[in-house]
Every structure is written in structure tokens, then in C-alpha cells.
Amino acid sequence: MARKVGLDRRQVIDAAVALVDDDGLASVSLANVAAVLGVASPSLYSHVDSLAALRRELALEASARLGTDIRDAVTGSGGEAALRRIAHVYRAFARTHPGLYATLHTTPVPSEDAELSAAFGALVPDLAAVLSGLGLPETDAVPLIRTVRSALHGFVSLEASGGFGLPDDIDESFETLIDVLVAGLLAGKA
């Protein structure tokens, strides 16, 4: 296999992103990424130390992309409108980037990987601000963020796995989920 001239870290990550989104997280191996790039596997070691390091890079990429999407969606809005936008952006990200989304399922422990933990936690202040805009106490931010994440993750995971077999409109069901989520959050402030 010919060595690709000018191969850089960004190209390696981009190839892994394409692979993970097309074929799933299990498909990501150094050999498969090298094949996508048209190089031999050892060529990747000057850009990533191991498969674990490459998967970590995918998680960082996923966190950054989802964070950007959510920040862009809530810029200039607040309260209920912002929460609804977050829900739609979250679902769109999971649908558009199913492999990258899968890298976000396990939150890293700060003592094991401070950088990755910080990347995953970067959205917490933004989400807390949206919840605060709904009039919810800042002291409840973490359990409420976990609640929102759990509801959205549950829906998108069931949708991705074909878990909604009834003929009813899935988009309508998602809107119902958001309505129930917003109503539940607002009821909690009473």
C-alpha cells in the first residue's frame, strides 16, 4: 500500500468519523481507518498512539460537534424555545452521526481523563442556563440535565434501533416527548 503524502492528524480523525458514522463504532480499527486513507496501519501511529486513542479522539470530536450544534441552536433564545431547540438538535445529531453519537454514551471520570471529562462537561453550563431560564433552581441543574439527557437518549436510541414499530408518526411522538418533558420540568418549579 502506497504511503499517502501529507497525511495529518485531522485526516485520520475525519476518516475515522466517516467510518464510524457509516459502519458503526465496532468498525473503527486502525486497519480500517488506514484502508480508508490508502495507507498502511503503521502510518497512523505518528498521528494516534492506539485504537483507544483514536476512539478517544472520536469522543472529543463528537462532544465538540454536538456542543457547537447545541450552542448555535440556543443562541438568541431562552426558556422553553431553547429547550425545544436542544431536543431537536440532539435528535438530529444522533440521526446524522450515529457512530459519533455512540461515543458519547459513557461519560469519562475526571481522574481518568480530565480533558475528555471537561469536553463532555462543557455543555453543562449552557444547559443549566436554559433550565434556569425556565425558572428552575440552579441547585437542581444536574439532576434535571440528567433527566433531559435520559429522555432524549431513550427516544433516539429506540428510534435508531427500530424500536418504534407502530405506524404512528415518529416525529409527532418526538414532539409529544418534548411537550411532556417541558410540562414536567415546569411542574417541578411550582
pLDDT score, position 105: 87
- What's the CA gap between 84 and 88, in Å, rounded? 6
Please state the pTM of the whole predicted model. 0.89
**Which residue type, as a one-letter code, is found at position 179?**
D
Q: For residue 100, what is the domain's CATH number?
A: 1.10.357.10
Could you tell me if 57 and 65 are in contact, meaning their C-beta atoms sit under 8 angstroms apart?
no
pLDDT score, position 3: 44
In the chain, how many domains are there?
2
**53 within a domain of the structure (yes/no):** no
Could you tell me if 159 and 171 are in contact, meaning their C-beta atoms sit under 8 angstroms apart?
no
Sign of the alpha-carbon torsion through 186, 87, 163, 146: negative
pLDDT score, position 190: 57
Could you tell me if 86 and 178 are in contact, meaning their C-beta atoms sit under 8 angstroms apart?
no
**55 within a domain of the structure (yes/no):** no
Using 50 as the pLDDT threshold, list the residues of the chain that sit under it: 1-3
pLDDT score, position 160: 92
Q: For residue 31, what is the domain's CATH number?
A: 1.10.10.60
Sign of the alpha-carbon torsion through 106, 110, 115, 120: positive
Q: Which residue has the cell 483507544?
A: 52
- Other CB atoms closer than 10 Å to residue 5's CB: what's the count? 6
pLDDT score, position 19: 95
> Roughly what angle, to the nearest 10 degrees, separates helices 51-74 and 114-121?
20
Which domain covers residue 135, as residue numbers? 60-188
Q: Do 80 and 154 share a structural domain?
A: yes
- What's the CA gap between 96 and 88, in Å, rounded? 12
